[in-house]
Amino acid sequence: MQLLKALATASLMGVLPGLALASGAAEQPLDLTRHWVGLFAIAVFILAYLLVMAEEFTHLRKSKPVILAAGIIWAAIAVVYSGHGASHLPEEAIRHNLLEYAELMLFLLVAMTYINAMEERRVFDALRGWLIARGFGFRSLFWITGTLAFFISPIADNLTTALLMCAVVLAVGGENSRFVTLACINIVVGANAGGAFSPFGDITTLMVWQKGIVDFWTFFALFIPSAINFLVPAALMSFAVPNEKPAASQETVTLLRGARRIIGLFLLTIMTAVSFHNFLHLPPVIGMLTGLGYLQVFGFYLKKTAHRAGTVVENKERHDQIGDIVSFDVFKPIARAEWDTLLFFYGVVACVGGLGFIGYLGMASELMYTQWGPTTANVSVGLLSAIVDNIPVMFAVLTMNPDMATGQWLLVTLTAGVGGSLLSIGSAAGVALMGQTRGKYTFFGHLKWSPVIALGFAASIYCHMIINANFF
């Protein structure tokens, strides 16, 4: 029993700030860390995550166990609070969690919609043809996609970048499962590493920047450590990439009408999201949803101008169908979004939110930042983010608000950003790619290379401690 409690305290620090939620209210949440509901919630959460990890063998979609676990955990909490006459407190807490999830879900939904729209317009088919025509082999493509992921993710978010590069990998070498696995691992590591040194490259860095803890330009001190985090595992994995070239194709790919303009609208959407946050101090999701409006209006324009463009429509019934190649309907790309991934995030946010509301956040703060010290604690945060998504992990650290030097805040930003690369379920990019590849990139496929990724993780920390010593 004591071992279970210790494990729970160390592994569940990455929880949403349920305790802080009601800190200003007249009534405080109950401390249920030693109550039966606390141990019960831990057991349910661990069981759900074990099922997520076993998706490759059970073929049970990862969203199902965590959604069920979330409902069970919050129901158990509500039963206890109802017995104490304070049923409104869990209600307020879960509403806060739902708000956190809504921002994340809508952001991801817009990104996925644009990716699907570009796929429908044959953008990635055309890119595949171009890459094959250039004569790139699998090893060259491995480095090209990984490097692009590293440098694009500081501008876009790491999830969007990973989805984009993965689409290229599947289009070029989708028949070679070994190449797809290694390339996807490289993309996840590169995207997470690239997002760690930019204020808007990852949601975790956004939260730290928004809090005013670290200055905008100070984040770029993490560029070299982040690059090392990417280059070390990439260099070692590259030797395992098949020394082959994709099968040649004589197919001429023609972009469908509006493809280039959709690419431009996607870039404009990213700029809008960044500008909304940077200049208007609005959540980035508002800018992303504004960008979805760009795509909707453009889809309407394509439909109304189809005849003027010289396109022949066989019949009106087909013309009005959703997803018609002539008119383009934005709701088809939305429908094709990775809904299993989006619902998985709901389950995780709700589960860890419930665990935080129970009281494990306070226990973890005392253990890690008081007893262990900031350096050990911040490295542990990175290791923890391999199991629990880095967003609630970083939110928990910000809620604790430990008294640390700027160098330590940069350290926890780095570890939380790149630590998720250790496991496929540790980052939004990894989870999304598991869904996008449909069984070609899996949890256990990623796990085989975790020691190599851990080597890059350790090297990046050591590099940060040396070159950024003036921040400590």
Helix (H) or strand (E) segment spanning residue 193: helix 177-196
Torsion 129-131-133-135 (CA) sign: negative
pLDDT digits (tens, 9 = 90+) for 369-396: 778 888 898 998 888 888 776 766 776 7
Report d(CA 149, CA 167) in Å as an integer.
12
Closest of 41, 52, 28 to residue 345, by C-alpha: 52
Indicate the pTM of the whole model.
0.71
Cβ neighbours for 44, distance < 8 A, ≥ 6 positions apart? 69, 72, 73
Q: Of 189-193, 315-319, 389-393, which range is least confident?
A: 315-319
Tell whether the model's pLDDT for residue 453 goes beyond 90: yes
DSSP 3-state percent helix, strand, coil across the chain (nearest 5): 75, 0, 25
Chain centre to alpha carbon of residue 135: 32
Residue 147 has pLDDT above 50, yes or no: yes
pLDDT of res. 115: 81
- Give 120's pLDDT tier (boundaries 50, 70, 90): confident
Give me 164's structure tokens: 């984009």
How far are the Cα atoms of 20, 37, 38, 386 from residue 44, in angstroms, in the given order? 23, 10, 10, 19
1-52 pLDDT, tens per residue? Answer: 343 344 344 444 333 333 333 333 447 778 788 888 889 999 999 899 888 8
Distance of CA 220 to the CA centre of its chain: 21
3-state secondary structure of 312: coil
Provide mean pLDDT across the span 116-145: 82
At 352, the amino acid letter reads: V
Q: Pseudo-torsion of CA 363, 366, 369, 372, nearest 10°?
A: -90
Residue with tokens 């910000």, as numbered in its chain? 398
Q: How far is CA 394 from CA 91, 207, 303, 384, 454, in A?
A: 23, 8, 44, 11, 20
pLDDT score at 324:
44
Distance CA(271)–CA(276), nearest Å, equals 8
